[in-house]
Amino acid sequence: MRTARARHYLMCRPTHFDVVYSINPWMDPTKPVDTPLAIAQWERLREVYLNLGHTVDTIDPVPGLPDMVFAANGATVIAGRALVARFRDAERRAEGPAYHDWLRDNGFPELRTAAFTNEGEGDYLPVGDWLLAGTGFRSDPRSHDEAQEFFGRPVIGLQLVDPDYYHLDTALTALDENTVAYHPGAFSPGSRAVLERLFPDAVRASAADAAAFGLNATSDGHNVVLPQNATGLADQLRDRGFNPIGVDLSELLKAGGSVKCCTLELRRAH
Ligand code: ARG
């Protein structure tokens, strides 16, 4: 028996989406990007959320910030407290203040901009009482201590080792308060052992489903929205009582992002 809980999400329309620089292996600036198609795919994702009964707020896209559609990277918000991102790359740095101002103006007064490089929910995923935290490519390991202090939650640091899975949310997804799905190959041996210890019943995704960005998913506890090409993972989820909903975000994948990257969860409680 799985129960859905309505979520509050923040998204950013990909009005200015493009691939004009490369800061992860998926990004090839010589490949054409169809921005109108990206917008249509993003609108569909938003519609899926609204049909599931979730609240979706939007932040105004800023010209010259083609990756701003990846709202997950803007902050981590738990129990009404927001730790705003500090991006590794100069190309994305101005997104931090944009998310900061949106949160300040929309009822999140308890907010702080991270002192160390921290790419928000790209690398920080709350699961039950824990805050899982990725490092290796983007977020500075020192940001893990900062997040633990700020949120007062035990941070579990996880080492990412495969550049294709450069953010935690490309390799692991939180399905409910105590269930995760992940791609073991994205983690160091020690971090794999940590995940096995904490989540012995986790869903282990195949390399093919990970490559389809299947782990870049969102869950409300029952419905799991994920890239439609991750069909094996969808079957595994269905076997576990979840309701997988596939969506096509092929244009956004050209920047190394998909469902979860486009979705920042605003947690007022929990
Ligand atoms: N092009 C973006 C970057 O490399 C993609 C970000 C994807 N976001 C995520 N939450 N994984 O920064």
Q: Of 267, 251, 269, 233, nearest to 70 (Cα)?
A: 251
What positions carry a catalytic annotation? 167, 261
Q: Does residue 7's CB lie within 6 angstroms of at least one atom of ligand 1?
A: no
Place of tokens 């009482």: 129
pTM value surpassing 0.85: yes
User: Which of 26, 164, 168, 261 gets mutated to test ligand 1 (max ligand atoms within 8 A of its CB)?
Assistant: 261
The model's confidence at residue 269, banded by pLDDT at 50, 70 and 90, is confident
Q: Does residue 73's CB lie within 6 angstroms of at least one atom of ligand 1?
A: yes
Q: Does residue 95's CB lie within 6 angstroms of at least one atom of ligand 1?
A: no
On the question of pLDDT at 209 being above 90, the answer is yes
- The predicted-structure confidence for 13-53, as pLDDT tens digits, reads as follows 999 999 999 999 999 999 999 999 999 999 999 999 999 99
For residues 73 and 88, what is the distance between their CA atoms, to the nearest angstrom?
11
Q: Does residue 117's CB lie within 6 angstroms of at least one atom of ligand 1?
A: no
- The predicted-structure confidence for 161-206, as pLDDT tens digits, reads as follows 999 999 999 999 999 999 999 999 999 999 999 999 999 999 999 9
Please give the mean pLDDT across all residues of the chain. Answer: 98
8 A C-beta contact, residue 165 and residue 184: no
Q: Which domains does the chain have, with CATH numbers?
A: 8-265 (3.75.10.10)
Over residues 229-236, mean pLDDT: 98
